[in-house]
Chain A
């Protein structure tokens, strides 16, 4: 006798017992961009509550800021946000220059902007590659953005000696002056880059699977974002055009023409993806303008010595990194070591909004939402 298939509507559900499940999205996970532990309370597939547990990557950078000399500490902070090390150095340099009254020469300012925008492009390229892997597109897509990223890392290696932890932007200026060939290579990169971004967009932007996974997912309301102190592309996609390069311009940004990518609505994950693609194109334009406008001259405003000191006082300075506002609050007593270095990292503040965004969404959306906030864990834990 052939058994008949039981129809779904004939299942008895009155004796089913449902319960919430607590699952660890453990510290080791290929998609959390670092070591982040998420304790998820799930009802079936829907997330009821999420608690991020931080601190696995805590390396005591603020303690180091009290116990290392000014010269030593500059080399340590690149490692905080390793994908955008130039910006962390720049925040420290700006805050110390403000306190000490050092003027940075114009050539150094242009070099800073150029390498910082190159760093922004390389950070967004890595974000793009890993985001697609998080969503499951493991067919080798990241090797496309990494092709451009390798060119940028070669340029960084020429100018600073390092591929990632540059230690290039120092207090008072920049470390080395590149040769003339370096500028030609950067120009060649900027000429080829828009075409490459078109290639990435051709694969991703109109892709129906990508659209289904990211449209309407993870809508960040403006009031929630303001309450949590979100900055960077996430807040610009929720309707508030806060970009430090335009609202509180520093360095030579007032002389450069570029658009601030902002959407006048409550942004979802697809908007945040698109904003980063457009920001890469804008950064390309900024680099082209800097190449045309860079003057000759010195690159260091005050000679750096191993026992350098900064005048007494306190101050706060911030720059716009690919993730948001990275700020540095420094207190000095004029001694050989800083008194207090407090870092305001964008990933720390943006990650706190995760507990609001994930509630009610299925597990598959966790990675889509988390990846679109663009969090780097060493930046969270310092």
Chain B
């Protein structure tokens, strides 16, 4: 839409890795850095490295990021992201970790797949169920992959940009009305 301001353009050169990007690089995991979200380091990581990266960030002595604030699903117009916000119970570190799946690489009728971390981090259990329910990201290996907020047999993922509300008495056009 022409009235919307465009988000900041991608910088020409990749950004320098910050503290956590550097830490992960030393352990052999490559990440890309995005512009900081209000002063917090934001990095993207591939789905295959997610498990190892989170285990390292959670339990190593330099980076004790052991409070999983939330797992969210965002439908950016050309990618579907799973966003992990990590804080620490003991110091003031914060980190935003994103697993971005381009929509072009998702087969028709299927959902983007991200490995589930709820086997070793129980906080993620309900958050991942909610992200599957609302944004449509399938977390492989989740012990109980069912919808949590919508009824179990609901169709569609409400937070997608192309979600159509089901027809009901409020928004379908009936010729006969009670009034």
Residues of A within 8 A of B (CB): 54-55, 58, 60, 62-63, 66, 98-99, 226-229, 231, 235, 240, 242, 247-248, 311-318, 325, 327, 329, 331, 333-336, 340, 342, 344, 348-349, 352, 381-382
Contact = CB atoms under 8 A, between A and B. Distances in A.
Contacts of A331: 74
Interface centre among A60, A98, A314, A317 (most CB of B within 10 A): A314
Nearest to A332: B7
B52 interface: no
A228 B123 contact: yes
Contacts of B83: 329, 342
A352 B149 contact: no
Given A54-B148, A333-B4, A349-B123, A247 B92 contact: yes
A55 B126 contact: no
A342 B131 CA distance: 11
A335 B67 contact: no
B123 A316 contact: no
B24 interface: no
Contacts of A314: 37-38
B151 interface: yes
Given A248-B92, A340-B74, A60 B158 contact: yes
Given A227-B122, A349-B123, A240 B89 contact: yes
Contacts of A315: 37-38, 40
Given A247-B92, A312-B8, A226 B37 contact: no
B5 interface: yes
A241 B2 CA distance: 49
Contact of A316 (B38, B74, B75, B126): B38
B134 interface: yes
A312 B126 contact: no
A334 B67 contact: no
B165 to A, nearest CB: 9
6 contacts: A55-B151, A227-B122, A231-B67, A316-B85, A327-B70, A382-B149
Given A329-B83, A329-B85, A335-B4, A62 B69 contact: no
Nearest to A353: B122
A39 to B, nearest CB: 13
A242 B89 contact: yes
A352 B38 CA distance: 29
Given A334-B5, A334-B7, A344-B85, A229 B68 contact: yes
A299 B177 CA distance: 49
B126 A348 contact: yes
Size category, B interface? 35 or more
A382 B126 CA distance: 14
Given A229-B68, A313-B38, A327-B69, A334 B4 contact: yes
Given A62-B159, A335-B1, A313 B8 contact: yes
B7 A229 contact: no
Contacts of A242: 67, 89
Contacts of B29: none
A60 B157 CA distance: 12
Contact of A63 (B3, B89, B122, B159): B159
Contacts of B4: 333-335
Interface in B112-137: 121-123, 125-126, 134
Contacts of B1: 335
Nearest to B124: A229
Nearest to A331: B74
Interface string B30-73: 00000001101000000000000000000000000011111010
A335 B38 contact: no
A149 to B, nearest CB: 30
Given A316-B85, A333-B7, 7 more contacts: A55-B151, A66-B159, A242-B89, A316-B38, A327-B70, A329-B72, A333-B6
A55 B130 CA distance: 10
Contacts of A98: 38
A361 B82 CA distance: 37
B159 A312 contact: no
B111 interface: no
Contacts of A344: 69-70, 85
Contact of B158 (A63, A311, A329): A63
Contacts of B70: 327, 329, 342, 344
Nearest to A329: B72
B38 A99 contact: yes
B37 A316 contact: yes
A315 B75 CA distance: 16
A352 B122 contact: yes
A57 to B, nearest CB: 9
